[in-house]
Structure 1
């Protein structure tokens, strides 16, 4: 009987499969099927464990996708976001943008399974990339081939996470030119990867100023839909740092194109989301998602995820293969 992944592959257009298996997958020494000989069941082990986790805790899909993004934008996709810090030397996961990250236990559990099957073979950085893909697939999103072969970094510094992760109150131009372009990504990647906000939740603290103190005068962002603004105020009181709010209202557990519809309706949490409307190419892309199937978005998302997953990777003899994802080898 065909697996869920096999069915997704059959549904993909041939053009996308060819694209994801071509030059993009060979960038920086990565390739699809890197573990086919050294650990042939690696991807199946990751998927099986993710299927179990998503059944028990479906709300982890968004955080696990976000974790891969937060790893790649700080010194490349090297698994450094997983490393524990100390009081004297805080790591990336201790930085303000990463304090709300969840799912570290899931990554550790998958690593344990892989170490039993193939000791010292599969990197934590590759686990993050595979988990991100499977989190999307298991929420009814697209499948894409993940190039593997990353090795793990040995360095993780909180300040570097603060400097390299785009804050939610930045606009499109600031995110594009300040964070994406330096990493080799472009405007379309901003538009497409922003669509990942179709799954998951956010703490009120990430957008509280937008609803209570937008310009420092106790006002709200005038670009917010007034009915949505009131709903946010009902859920989030001033200085609320614990309440979680759906990023894609009514559809936060399903990977689809409804996020773009909410941007057009001005019903999104972050300034970074709403500012998509300031860029003509982004606005045109959003308009196309209103009608028909999400095929364009699904295809594009896989391509942009492969590009992001190639950022400053360690391959060959660089870095290491950690035995445990939270600590470097000694």
Structure 2
């Protein structure tokens, strides 16, 4: 298997290098074909690496970057004011061919702005979109956009649907069912943008468009790709994460209320642990920036080590599947 080289923004996220570097080293040990470039403040990164003996330094390189983009920093400031940020240097490694993908847990707005500036979009794509897998009753569904584009036209939603379908197919779903998220499944429901986007998708040859789905249909697994604007998508994703956390806490509280409930809880513990593992946000962490001339995966800023490893694994899959090139080859036949 050929080597896959991934650049890691080691300074991003809520926890920074103390979380990202160990998670990266774990992935390096897990995949023998993986090569990593850790980008950031060299002395700090090397100090953390030194705590882990046996690291294969033949597959690990540290690239110095003197600046760090704060999680609350304005994208314009990150774009113009920090030319040597770890995020920008990691993206430039992809642009210059020294890496095949970039993974960052940093500022989402800054990462999108820098990705568009450094890597550019694929021909025919106006805006990149963030796509991630969410668990459903049938397995998982690819949801986009997750916050990169708050205001979207019908044409943008159409482009997101095309990119999501091609990406889902590339990642293993045969003839993925594509749907638009809406307040109802009837044709008369929804705002003007959603209705116009539906008309465009109905005319798209080679796209398995099935119409509208509501929020509950997403979790039933009624579609393989669900499309919405970034405002709705981000709220839906964050609400889902909060709901899952609340249900988990409520179940634990119920099973600890009395001796009887604790006994029942002990019997149910193996099933509950399995369910928690299957639905854990860490298992699905890693949103792809679709539509760029390069691979960029955004990890949740608050993701711990296991979650960041999931983001690296997603980038590794996209590198192996050569996702941007496959997208480019299919998009010219599907875009209007």
Both structures adopt the same fold (TM-score exceeding 0.5) = no
TM-score w.r.t. the length of structure 2 is: 0.31
For the pair shown, which has the larger CA radius of gyration, 1 or 2? Answer: 2
TM-score w.r.t. the length of structure 1 is: 0.32
Higher strand share: 2
Higher helix share: 1
